[in-house]
Amino acid sequence: MEILDCTLRDGGYYTNWDFSKEIVDSYIDAVNQLPIDIIEIGYRSPVKQDYLGEYFYCPQYVIDYITEKCRKQVAIMFNEKDVRPEMLDDLLKGCDAISLVRLAVDPDNLERAIVLAKAIRQRGFEVALNIMYMSKWNEKQGFLDLMSQVDDVATYVNMVDSYGGVYPDEVKKIYRDLRSRTSVKVGFHGHNNLELGLINSLTAIECGADIIDVTITGMGRGAGNAKTELLLTTLNSKKGLPVDFNVLGKVVNEFEKMMEHYKWGTNLPYMIAGANSFPQKDVMEWVSNRFYSYNSIIRTLQNRKDGRKDNFQLPKLTSNKFVDEVVIVGGGPSAIMHASGITNFLSTRKKCAIIHASSKNAKPYKNLDNEQFFCLVGNEGHRLEDAFDDLGEFKGKCILPPYPRKMGTYIPERIIDKCFELREMTFTKSLVDTHTAIAIQTAIDLKASRIYLVGYDGYYDNVSMVERELSAENEELFRKATKTISICSLFPTAYDVDVKSLYSLLIHE
């Protein structure tokens, strides 16, 4: 039985496939001394539109560096849906030191994957088929009939519990089904939504699996994977597998430092997603990149399970006041640092509405006479309660995305009569449930001619993945919106928008 560690490839979903040289060196040094047979270092991918890091593309210098330092077999992965045989000469260029190419395969595309696997095998590489969505294989019985064709092209076929929701008895049944149809080596790749990664891996070993996938600290997409250290510890205890625990402990400590920052691992939304075979991609985005409460996420997952849309509609946004311009208040520090100047500016412009993209910075503005709107997404209603100690005095309007909304939104009961939804998103068809998108669409629906931004400072140094993605989203929204409405920031900003000084407007306009 072989152990394959895919920390750098699967863990890249949290780091955008960027890892420091120090962490890579520590990882390779540990792998060299541990009973790990193969490491998978990342993807080799065709060009994608967004930024993805070193270990998503694995340029030749990365492969050369790893294979020179690592004494174990080294693998890369292709996402089968993105790769065709005619791309292989380019994608496999410089990969001579790589011995194994693994394909991430949707069961519906297995026939196409076999063609690709043959082409890879003809170029001298071993091939593994990682067949995803294991918990739904019983709905796709036809693809198993193709397994006899795998014998001549693949070294391994791996059962992939993509949703982290299979149970040990299902592992046994699927293993038997697979083994009865192919003579190649069978493996298992377990996700950990229901914390069954270890027991399912041990069950696969008990069945006779030839290879097991793991990652250090379980680092991997969504809820993560079966943990390298846990499998090695168990096999040491039960099977006498030699393990240097000083080496193992050192590398685990290094990755636990990263874990404090990126916070991979299971939680309640991931558990519900796993138990119901929902994709981890959406949950990972909701948990990591949005201000969604667990209740909002769980309501969404339950609605999806039951085939329901969001549970109620609201009146459409209207305004009886003439609005010439709006100030959109974001969550950045300038909205607080310059609150005196901003409130003076607004007090002289009674026809300027205030739109709070986030309630985080709302307190300095709550006593102004200007019409005020508050964007509600996910858990934002709780921030609103914090900003207004007594919601009975709340005079604003709350704005939600158009119906139907994919996310459940918390609405404080005391202000339900002050909540409205947008009719539609006219300036963008993506990112429609973000704070900034709702704020911009509100300005457009109010027929404002100009948007002033405050608290949209942007991000400069030491940008986290979440901040980077939020920045890219806002940049895209501003780019689209400027085709419809004038936008400028009243303070310095990292965003690509026009900038005016608030203080010049106080003096000269």
Q: What string of H, E and C letters represents the secondary structure of 331-395?
A: CCCHHHHCHHHHHHHHHCCCCEEEEECCHHHCHHHCCCCCCEEEECCCCHHHHHHHHCCCHHHCC
Distance CA 199, CA 87 (A): 39
In terms of Cβ atoms closer than 10 Å to its own Cβ (0-12, 13-18, 19+), residue 199 is middle
Q: How large a percentage of the chain has pLDDT more than 90?
A: 71
Distance CA 412, CA 392 (A): 11
| pLDDT score of 50 more than 90 | no
| pLDDT score of 10 more than 80 | yes
Nearest to 497 by CA among 468, 454, 467: 454
Q: Residue 203 region, left (φ>0) first, then alpha (ψ -120 to 50), else beta? A: alpha
Instruction: Dump pLDDT digits (tens) for 135-152.
Output: 989 888 788 888 989 998
Both structure tokens of 43: 């993807």
**What's the residue count for the chain?**
509
Q: Residue 137 region, left (φ>0) first, then alpha (ψ -120 to 50), else beta? A: alpha
| pLDDT score of 388 more than 90 | no
The reported pLDDT for the residue numbered 238 is 95
| pLDDT score of 299 more than 90 | no
User: Between these two residues, 352 and 291, which has the higher pLDDT value?
Assistant: 352
Q: Three-class SS of residue 308?
A: coil
The reported pLDDT for the residue numbered 411 is 85
Both structure tokens of 37: 């047979």
**Per-position DSSP letters for 31-78, written without gaps between them:** HHHTT--EEEEEE-----SS---HHHH--HHHHHHHHHH--SEEEEEE
Distance CA 305, CA 133 (A): 17
Q: At what angle do helices 197-207 and 228-239 cross, to 10 degrees?
A: 50
User: Between these two residues, 301 and 243, which has the higher pLDDT value?
Assistant: 243
Residue 466: pLDDT band (50, 70, 90) is low
Both structure tokens of 311: 């549970």
| pLDDT score of 269 more than 80 | no
Contact 123, 113 (CB under 8 A): no
Q: What is the mean pLDDT of residues 335-356?
A: 94
Kindly report whether the peptide bond that precedes residue 404 is cis, defined as omega within 30 degrees of 0. yes
| pLDDT score of 285 more than 70 | no
Q: What is the mean pLDDT of residues 31-60?
A: 95
What DSSP character marks residue 93?
A: T
Q: What is the mean pLDDT of residues 249-262?
A: 94
Distance CA 231, CA 6 (A): 14
Distance CA 267, CA 334 (A): 34
- What is the separation, in whole angstroms, between the first and last Cα of the chain? 76
What is the β-pairing status of strands 185-190 and 211-214? parallel
Residues forming a β-bridge with 319:
none
In 3-state terms the chain splits into helix, strand, coil percentages (rounded to 5) of 45, 15, 40
Contact 293, 267 (CB under 8 A): no
What DSSP character marks residue 323?
A: -
What is the average pLDDT score of the chain?
Answer: 91
Contact 252, 217 (CB under 8 A): yes
The reported pLDDT for the residue numbered 393 is 75
The reported pLDDT for the residue numbered 356 is 96
Residue 267: pLDDT band (50, 70, 90) is confident
Both structure tokens of 105: 């395969």
Instruction: Dump pLDDT digits (tens) for 302-337.
Output: 776 666 665 578 999 987 777 889 999 999 999 999
Residue 474: pLDDT band (50, 70, 90) is very high
Contact 330, 365 (CB under 8 A): no
The reported pLDDT for the residue numbered 412 is 87
User: Between these two residues, 70 and 280, which has the higher pLDDT value?
Assistant: 70
48-52, 106-110, 370-374, 477-481: segment of lowest average pLDDT: 48-52
The reported pLDDT for the residue numbered 293 is 59
Q: How large a percentage of the chain has pLDDT more than 70?
A: 93
| pLDDT score of 343 more than 90 | yes
Residues forming a β-bridge with 472:
none
Distance CA 11, CA 262 (A): 10
**Superfamily assignment of 2-277 in CATH?**
Aldolase class I (3.20.20.70)
Contact 54, 17 (CB under 8 A): yes
Instruction: Dump pLDDT digits (tens) for 391-439.
Output: 777 889 999 999 887 766 778 888 999 999 999 999 999 888 889 999 9
> Within its chain, how far is the Cα of 237 from the centroid?
36
The reported pLDDT for the residue numbered 69 is 97
Contact 350, 325 (CB under 8 A): no
| pLDDT score of 300 more than 80 | no
| pLDDT score of 290 more than 60 | no
The reported pLDDT for the residue numbered 243 is 97
Residue 96: pLDDT band (50, 70, 90) is very high
Q: Where are the domains of the chain?
A: 2-277, 325-508
Distance CA 156, CA 184 (A): 6
The reported pLDDT for the residue numbered 460 is 77
